Amino acid sequence: MALERADELKSNFIALAAHELRAPVTSVNGVIQTLHDRGDLLNDDQRALLSEMLREQGRRLGLLVEQLLDLSRLDADAIEIEPEPVPVRERVEELVRSTAGERATEVVVEVPEDLEAFVDPSAFDRILTNLVANALRYGEPPVIVRAEQRDRHFRLAVEDRGPGVPEDFVPELFERFTRSARAQERGMGTGLGLAIARSYANAHSGELVYEPASPNGAKFELVLPKGYGTDVRAHRLLVYRL
């Protein structure tokens, strides 16, 4: 039964991955074909439009391939978690700049200057990058990033002031390739970011949870046991399966 379930999950994953790749690949091929067949007939505005389409679809393809590679490594237990002391505010500010780009001013960082967490830097980056990108994509500014040590746990929260997650969609939030009706209508996201972020959280014996923000919006919180990984250098922990 377990083997049959694993085969089913593998088949579904391949089918969904192929489906998600098809749209950007088709768009890129269409633009390339247009430039090849009619390039001499296009004016500057038309060329600029096609160039922007190539840039956007190329970015989408790159993100999707990176996420699929993450999932394949996670499924194969091929990612090792190696915690080390990380200055949280410095790391958060750096990731916000690289993730948000021109929208970085829409993100407010409320993290104590002296806060330090014992985490795997790459895993931490993956989690925070996905959470900030999601907040900017689906929510409304300001996006607020908070972190603290409390109740014997390290907590990092990312929230926005948008409409929040529809109540009927909450149970599916962390499933692969799942997107809300609003996201599907707008062609937004890949439905992989939160699944990857939660898996990295689990690798730290932690959790990634969702709750509505107050007064409105979405709030995702990473919760890690305080001091987790103090003796991890003696043994490497493998990431949990999604």
pLDDT (average), residues 36-54: 88
Are residues 219 and 133 part of one domain?
A: yes
* Claim to verify: residue 125 and residue 69 sit in the same structural domain: no
Q: What are phi and psi of 16, to 5 degrees?
A: -70, -40
pLDDT of residue 131 exceeding 60, the answer is yes
Same domain, 221 and 120: yes
CATH number, domain with residue 36: 1.10.287.130
Q: Cα(130)–Cα(116) distance, rounded to whole angstroms?
A: 21
Strand partners, 204: none
CATH of residue 119: 3.30.565.10
Segment 57-81, tens digit of pLDDT: 887 777 777 777 777 776 666 667 7
Q: Please state the domain count of the chain.
A: 2
Q: Are residues 98 and 123 in the same domain?
A: yes
Give percent above pLDDT 70 in the chain.
77
Domain match, 168 and 141 both: yes
152 lies in which domain range? 81-238
Per-residue pLDDT at 74: 65
Residue 48: partners with Cβ closer than 8 Å, 6 or more residues away? none
Residues 167 and 226 in one domain: yes
**pLDDT average, residue stretch 77-104:** 89
pLDDT computed for residue 219 by the predictor: 97
**pTM > 0.75:** no
